[in-house]
Structure 1
Amino acid sequence: MRAGPTNSLLDVEGLRVGHAHRVGGGYRTGTTVVLAPFDGAVAGVDVRGAAPGTRETELLDPRNLVERVHAVVLSGGSSFGLGAACGVMERLADAGAGYPVAAGAVPIVPAAVIFDLGRGGAFRATPDAELGIAAYDAAWDGSPSTTASHAAHGTASDSAASGPARGLSAPGEAATASSFFQGTAPAATSGSVGAGTGAVAGGLAGGVGTASVVLPGGTTVATLAVANPAGSVLDPRDATLAGVRYGLRGEFDHLQPPDAREAEAWRPEKAPAFNTTIGIAATDLTLTKAQCGKLAAVAHDGLARAIRPAHTMTDGDTIFGLATCARPAPDHDAFQDVLAVAADVFSRAVAHAVLAATGREGAPAYLDVFPSALRRRP
């Protein structure tokens, strides 16, 4: 097997990813949005943590009405951060995307959040609708797509027709009149971006990570993780990143077990009281809602392999499963193959999140603590 061209969620045909974040002035937080094709993606969800912060997850139960979602929002800010989804919903509505109802369409935008309150200094410095808009705009500015754009179908509202393709305001207009730094990041970026800007992973800096695999028949499976766990991301035997063991050939060859003295010296401060790892597992196959739920459930196995312990009482671990339906429905064996690799791809995404994260006071980067783990530059 091999990784996709970007080794990221973007390798699933039809998906776009955007990151936006605020740092300084009391802020250290952000939002990541994953946009589905205009007609939506089939979606499921699996919630394992005991303290989840979520929106619209009940809709994804196979017994319920809605089959497709138009975006998924992952955000910092704990429950306050769920407001970022409102900005994404506004943008989608301006483009005419959504579940059709009388006189219009209602965009379906599930969301999940991590706990990062106060990590920039101000407890209420959290993502809002404007940051959701910035992440949506970043998805259009920086993500390739091989499907028809929302803008091409955006004639359902006067605002979408008269404004820029992304919606009403140009990129960067949201919340620019503040003293803090507000920025976006390339869609395939891992590290301290988007929803992972304020993440902490067992005392180390956490963040966003992403990975993909292309199966021999051409099917793509990809994941995106926001790693912010209470548990450790290290193998207790030698302080290597636990998710690295599931890497593809050559993916983590630039790493090695750190010096035993560095491992012995690592004594992280007690982890924050509340955490959470959230993410997405996606494929280009045509799946049912139930199958998407199963895809999300198996991705949780990968979460638990990369983080120990996982799914604790103070984690709200939540993973969404998405199917863009660019390829035909799989038979039994082909779906088994997808499930077999989904866990490994999520473990790899967690490893990339921590490896790429930027260290800061109270949350050092992995290679700052274990410099001998770097065999050579990647």
Structure 2
Amino acid sequence: MTTIGRPARPGDRITDVVGITVGHSHRVDADAEVSGTAETPDGHGWATGTTVVRISWPGAIAAVDVRGGGPGTRETDLLDPSNTVQTAHAIVLSGGSAYGLATADGAMRALEAEGVGLPLDTRGHVVPIVPAAVIFDLPVGAWDHRPDADFGAEAVRVAGTDFAVGSVGAGAGARAGALKGGVGTASVTIETGPAAGVTVGALMVANPVGAVIDPTTGLPWDLGESELAELGLTRPEAADIAHLAELAEKHTVLNTTIGVVATDAALDAAMTRRIAMAGHDGLGRAIRPAHSPLDGDTIFAVSTGAVRPESTDPATASPPGMHADAAIIAEVSRCAADVVQRAIVDAVLAAESVASIPTYADAAPSAFA
């Protein structure tokens, strides 16, 4: 198994939200090959995995917003704000298409062994709440090499605040159009305004049908000069832009982008779902087109409630009949879109080639200043 991934940067990762940890389990073979060619019609080797976002803050609220036309999910109905259960103990993101939903069984098993879950009797028994979503990565590596319950259990056991990004976990076999996709993360702490002190973070598994690179510029969509400079990117040479266009003609059509947005703001269930909805705005900025009939685009949201900002500015107070936290929710939603966009870009830039799928750096080396 090859060693892949680079460390997520402290101060710019989902685990900057207190109470959130991340664990990966994957298998990537050096000789993995994509299926569908005359030489390897069924692929070869392993190139898949699972990522678990653990939620340990007591009283955390969870929600979800599904916008792709081909989702593979578990326990998403449970997270409807009108239903009784409003929390989750872990969220599983996995490769393996619908087969990969089995990884949530292992995550539940590992959480139960730790006594983590809803306490539903007086004898110490618990039921862990573990929603899940999967990406379609079956053609990368052998079709029948997909993550199972053991992957989910291992990802739970290794979860921590330090974790890797790139071709790791659920992103091991991910593709971003014709380029290599992966896992990315980002976060921001709000410094001023009604939500001052609140942190918002995202972890995304980028595996979209749509393009993550603007074919005109050869750069990630909608990034300003300062953002490009921060990432060490510059407009690539014409030959590299043309190469990217050639690769785009070979893009796949059965993909999905999934992830989690987390905040330490104290939000109710309905407003936590609104954070998931706002996250899709960031997905739409980073990927074009997004939410296609063949994508399963799904974003979960978590509000730990560790921070309760209190604004004394009457200008941000909600009028009678409106949600009391409207100003806070608006600011957290804005940040949710931003961190989702940046997490998807991070996934593409951090990805390493697996099964000969080219990375952005492979395809456009002149973009890296």
Tell me the TM-score normalized by structure 2. 0.84
Tell me if 1:123 matches 2:128.
no
Per the alignment, residue 327 of structure 1 pairs with: 307
Q: Structure 2 vs 1, CA of residues 9 and 39 (structure 1 numbering), >3 Å: closer, same or farther?
A: same
Residue 245 of structure 1: how far off its partner (Å): 4.0
Contact 1:276 1:317 (8 Å CA) reproduced: yes
Give the SS at the match of 1:18: strand
For residue 357 of structure 1, the aligned residue among 351, 355, 363 is 351
Residue 242 of structure 1: how far off its partner (Å): 1.6
Give the SS at the match of 1:136: helix
Give the SS at the match of 2:285: helix
Where does the alignment leave 5 or more consecutive residues of structure 2 unmatched?
Answer: 1-7, 30-43, 311-324
Contact 1:283 1:324 (8 Å CA) reproduced: yes
Per the alignment, residue 240 of structure 1 pairs with: 219
Question: How many Å separate the matches in 2 of 1:13 and 1:249?
Answer: 29
Question: How many Å separate the matches in 1 of 2:60 and 2:101?
Answer: 20
Residue 38 of structure 1: how far off its partner (Å): 5.6
Question: How many Å separate the matches in 1 of 2:221 and 2:288?
Answer: 9
Identity %: 49
Q: Structure 2 vs 1, CA of residues 191 and 13 (structure 1 numbering), >3 Å: closer, same or farther?
A: same
Residue 273 of structure 1: how far off its partner (Å): 3.1
Where does the alignment leave 5 or more consecutive residues of structure 1 unmatched?
Answer: 145-185
Q: Structure 2 vs 1, CA of residues 360 and 31 (structure 1 numbering), >3 Å: closer, same or farther?
A: closer
Question: How many Å separate the matches in 1 of 2:230 and 2:130?
Answer: 33
Q: Structure 2 vs 1, CA of residues 85 and 343 (structure 1 numbering), >3 Å: closer, same or farther?
A: same
Question: How many Å separate the matches in 1 of 2:259 and 2:104?
Answer: 15
Give the SS at the match of 2:211: coil
Tell me the TM-score normalized by structure 1. 0.82
Deviates more, 1:49-58 or 1:16-25: 16-25
Tell me if 1:110 matches 2:131.
yes
Contact 1:40 1:69 (8 Å CA) reproduced: no
Residue 289 of structure 1: how far off its partner (Å): 1.2
Deviates more, 1:356-365 or 1:28-37: 356-365
Per the alignment, residue 270 of structure 1 pairs with: 250
Q: Structure 2 vs 1, CA of residues 249 and 126 (structure 1 numbering), >3 Å: closer, same or farther?
A: closer
Residue 340 of structure 1: how far off its partner (Å): 1.2
Question: How many Å separate the matches in 1 of 2:208 and 2:9?
Answer: 27
Per the alignment, residue 7 of structure 1 pairs with: 12
Pairing of 1:212-251 with structure 2 (within 5 A): 212-216=187-191, 217-242=196-221, 244-245=223-224, 251=230
Q: Structure 2 vs 1, CA of residues 38 and 298 (structure 1 numbering), >3 Å: closer, same or farther?
A: closer
For residue 276 of structure 2, the aligned residue among 288, 296, 311 is 296
Per the alignment, residue 183 of structure 1 pairs with: none
Moved beyond 6 Å, runs of 4+: none
For residue 193 of structure 1, the aligned residue among 168, 174, 177 is 168
Q: Structure 2 vs 1, CA of residues 311 and 67 (structure 1 numbering), >3 Å: closer, same or farther?
A: same
Q: Deviations over 1:25-83 (max 9, x none)?
A: 62110000000016352111000000000000000001111011100000000010011
How many residues of Structure 1 are paired with residues of Structure 2 in the alignment? Answer: 326
Per the alignment, residue 16 of structure 1 pairs with: 21
Q: CA RMSD in A?
A: 1.9
Tell me if 1:137 matches 2:157.
yes
Deviates more, 1:203-212 or 1:326-335: 326-335
Per the alignment, residue 340 of structure 1 pairs with: 334
Q: Structure 2 vs 1, CA of residues 108 and 329 (structure 1 numbering), >3 Å: closer, same or farther?
A: farther
Question: How many Å separate the matches in 1 of 2:59 and 2:74?
Answer: 17
Per the alignment, residue 321 of structure 2 pairs with: none
Question: How many Å separate the matches in 2 of 1:351 and 1:246?
Answer: 15
Q: Structure 2 vs 1, CA of residues 247 and 124 (structure 1 numbering), >3 Å: closer, same or farther?
A: farther
Give the SS at the match of 1:343: helix
Question: How many Å separate the matches in 2 of 1:215 and 1:133?
Answer: 34
1:116 counterpart letter in structure 2? D
Residue 244 of structure 1: how far off its partner (Å): 4.0
Per the alignment, residue 45 of structure 2 pairs with: 26
1:370 counterpart letter in structure 2? A
Per the alignment, residue 155 of structure 1 pairs with: none
Question: How many Å separate the matches in 2 of 1:210 and 1:196?
Answer: 12
Per the alignment, residue 149 of structure 1 pairs with: none
Deviates more, 1:102-111 or 1:191-200: 102-111
